[in-house]
Amino acid sequence: MTIEMNTKFGNIDVSKEVVAVIAGGAAVDCYGIVGMASQKQLKDGITDLLGKENLGRGVVIREKEAEEVHIDMYIIVSYGTKISEVAYNVQSKVKYQLEKMLGLKVDSVNIFVQGVRVTNL
């Protein structure tokens, strides 16, 4: 599956995996994020902290219509941070990075906090 963009020079096809990795990288850079969680293990009640090589695994890209892109992100936050502020920062940064790097208009970034981890000081 790819996301298609039309420019005056022609068409650009970007795979959803590339969009997911960019979104995951932007999220991990935000303060208060410990890492990404796998969305496939939610039914078992288990959240695994994914490493840096798996940035796209906690991200789901959905296209409802030709121009609508929605992103679902599954994250783990650091203990002691304000979860609503961390989620807002992730939403803002992911949307900004995708618009800056790909010129992709993102309609929504949905954040699902899957866990809280105590980080070592």
In order of their start, the domains of the chain are 2-117 (3.30.70.1350)
Nearest to 101 by CA among 14, 7, 11: 14
> Would you say the C-alpha torsion 80, 86, 72, 4 has a positive or negative sign?
negative
Task: Identify the segments of the chain with pLDDT beneath 50.
Answer: 43-46
Assess contact for 76 and 47: CB atoms under 8 A: yes
Strand, helix or coil for residue 91: helix
Please state whether the predicted TM-score (pTM) of the whole model is above 0.85.
Answer: no
Residue type, 79: Y
Nearest to 75 by CA among 21, 111, 118: 111
| pLDDT tens profile 76-100 | 999 999 999 999 999 999 999 999 9
Nearest to 74 by CA among 32, 112, 107, 44: 112
- Give the Cβ contact number of residue 19 at 10 Å: 23
pLDDT of residue 44: 45
